[in-house]
Structure 1
Amino acid sequence: MTIGKYLLNIGSAAFIALAAREAIAEEFGRVNGYYDTRGRYTGGIEGGATNLPLGTKLFGFVDVETEGESDILTKPYGEIRLTKRGESGIGIAGEYNGDFDKSNTTRLGLTYEPDTPEGTRLGTKFYPVSDGAGMQAGISGRYDITDDTWVEAFWDYNFGPSKHVAEVQVGKTIKDNVALVAEGRYNEFADDEFGVGIGLDWSF
């Protein structure tokens, strides 16, 4: 898949998300593109919706990267998660993730999302059940430093292969819904585990 085809797919997904604004309450989305210090380009689209039927909410993303600095893309990787939060902050979740090939995984488990001050978000997850991929635990959060500057982070631990995946992101809005972002990345599933991504995010 070339970058041109990838951009077409990203544009189509963004159009669908925007068209759904009237049908889904409190939806959100983001498109991003970065240069990674490991010598490649990465990009993705993420989004979701809250206040869905039965008090559920949906979140998902698809990421791709180039083979080096060429315009040839690797297989995309994506996740989609449906959660139901209880009044205590404890909830149930189902998650599907994979690279759209054979290594796809379905997980079931619990989440905990405590009430937090405005401008702050915190969530944890624990998936004891999966279809052969082993257990997984994780934590994620966001803190708005100012109205236009924030820090986000997540950490996942996979019990089966005993591997960590983590990111820390600092962003600053530079115009309307466009932000300049720097992101530290650590992935023990990758050959080159650590890198830094610098690029732009567009929120809608």
Structure 2
Amino acid sequence: MNGHASRPPCAASPRARLPRSERPDRRASCLCQEGSVAPRVSLILVSHADFAPRNVAEILTLARAKPGALTFASSGAGSVIHLAGERFGADAKVSLRHIPYKGGGAALNDVVSKQADLYFAASARSALPLIKAGKLKAYAVTSTERLPALPSVPTVADSGLPGYDVTLWYGIVGPKGMPPEGRQTTQRRSEPHPGEARDRDQV
């Protein structure tokens, strides 16, 4: 599809430099609870239902037989999903072709519809229903431990790539000098409710 976009006119002017004492302090402060551990989220290596390999070893055998032929989708260049795929190829010494999308939903949909071969699903909430419905195959998880929600799915490390460990983690930051009451309110509201905690542990 061809498109055209016009750029609005702009003008450059010398940047005024504020005295150091008047410059805003852009440093941030962490709002995590002291002693707490940021939640870590595993990715799930999946493919469409008709993808021939039955396990990671067969994926690698096929990738070595056809260098650059297998594709993996991601939510965008430089995303953790992209880096997980590149790390997978580098550790296995195979060439996979990266297809970046504008978001994980579009990437996952194209894997289901066989437009791409592989995907490292970062959202278990999106992938699990498709796995259970038989629309996706789950080959491995990228953490060092199996997921309680997918107990029969091995880790990538246990599937022939020892040392492979790719997980997401989340933190909260705020402006430096944030009042204590603001920090406490943010910390309290970021804690999951009991039901949400159970869901997170299952995923």
TM-score by length of 1: 0.22
TM-score by length of 2: 0.23
Q: When you count helix as a share of all residues, which structure comes out higher?
A: 2
Q: When you count strand as a share of all residues, which structure comes out higher?
A: 1
Q: Which has the higher contact order (CA 8 A, sep 6+)?
A: 2
- Rg: which structure is higher? 2
